[in-house]
Amino acid sequence: MERIGYIGLGLMGKSIARNLLRASYPLTVHNRSRGSVRELVDEGAQAANEPRSVAESSDVVITNLPDSDDVESVVLGPGGVVEGCRAGMLFIDNSTIKPETSRKIAERLEQAGVEALDAPVSGGDIGAREGTLAIMVGGRSDAFRRAFPIFEAMGKTITHVGESGAGQVAKACNQVMVAAQMVAMGELLLLAQKSGVDPRRVVEAIRGGSAQCWTLDVKPKRLFSGERSPGFKAEMMHKDLNIVMDTARACGLPLPGTAANHQLFRAMLQMGMRDLDNSAVIGVLEVLAGESLREPDA
C-alpha cells in the first residue's frame, strides 16, 4: 500500500487525512500549527517537522494549503517537498490555487521524475468528514489511475478533467456557482421574510423544484438557527474568487455576475466576517436591506 504524506491540516485537510488513516494508508503528516498533528499522531499517523521530511518518508505527497504562494513555497522552496522527493513518487495538491501555479509545480517536479496532479476538492467540512467530496483532477492519465484508490478514500465524485491545471480550472468554475448560490440564497431568504412569508416554508417549497441545490439542502437550517461558523470560510471564498477573476482576465472573459458576488465577499472581509461561513454573506445583504434573518423563536 502506498505510503502517504499529508501537508496542511486545516478545516478540511485534517478530515481528509483522517479518512486516509481509516482506509489503512500509512500516513505521515505535517502542519504549521501542531495541534492537528498531535491529534492524528494519537490516531496512528507519524509526524514530520518539514515538507522535505514528509517526502522522504512517503510514496505519495498531498498538500492542502491556503493559496498559490503557500503551495509553491512548501513544494519548491527551501526544505520543500522537491528536496526530499525521488523518481517514481506522486504529488497531489488538494488546494485551490491558480492553474498556472499548478502547471509550474508539475513542470518542476517532472524534472525530478515525479508525477503531479492538481486535485482540488469541493464539499466543505461536511464532505471532508464524511468522505463524500467532489474531486476534480488535472494531470496525466496514468498518474490519475495510480491515485484513484487514494481519491476513493477521500470523496465520491472523482473526475479526471484534463491535463495539468485542468482540475484548478474546474474548481474555479465550481466556485463561480457556489458564490452565486450563497448570494442567491441570502437574497431569497430576506425577500421571503420582508414580504411577510416564512422563509423556512419557502425553502421547503422550492427545494423540490428547479431551484434544488446542495446549498439549499444544507445551509438554510444552520442560518435559521443563527449558526454562521465556518464549514468553508468567507476569507477562502474571497481568495477563490480572486483566482476566478484572474483566470477570467487571462482569457479575456467578462464575468459580470461573479464580479458582483466577488464584491459582496470582499465586503464580508471589510465588515469583519472573514472567519464566518461563506453562507454568512447574508450578513452583508442584511446590512444593505436593513433586515436581519430572524431565528425561529425571535
Q: Which one from 171, 219, 233, 239 is the annotated catalytic residue?
A: 171
- The angle that helices 256-270 and 234-251 make with each other, rounded to 10 degrees, is 150
Pairing state between β 121-122 and 133-138:
antiparallel
Average pLDDT, rounded, for the chain: 97
The predicted-structure confidence for 251-277, as pLDDT tens digits, reads as follows 999 999 999 999 999 999 999 999 999
> How far from 181 is each of 158, 211, 241, CA to CA, in Å?
22, 10, 14
171 is catalytic: yes
pLDDT at residue 297 in the model = 59
Helix-, strand-, coil-residue percentages of the chain, each rounded to 5:
55, 15, 30
Q: Would you say residue 133 has pLDDT above 70?
A: yes
Equal fold, 4-163 vs 169-289: no
The answer, yes or no, to whether residue 298 has pLDDT greater than 60, is: no
For the cut 90, the answer to whether the pLDDT of residue 295 exceeds it is: no
Q: Pairing mode, if any, of strands 90-93 and 60-63? A: parallel
Q: Which fold has domain 4-163?
A: Rossmann fold (3.40.50)
Q: What are the domain boundaries of the chain?
A: 4-163, 169-289
User: 31-42, pLDDT tens digit by residue?
Assistant: 999 999 999 999
pTM of the model: 0.94
**What's the rounded Cα separation, in Å, for the pair 204 and 208?**
7
- pLDDT tens digits, residue range 197-214? 999 999 999 999 999 999
The mean pLDDT of 179-199, rounded to a whole number, is 98
Fold of the domain built from segment(s) 169-289: N-(1-d-carboxylethyl)-l-norvaline Dehydrogenase; domain 2 (1.10.1040)
Name the one residue in this structure whose C-alpha cell is 425571535. 298
Rounded to an integer, the average pLDDT of 106-133 is 96
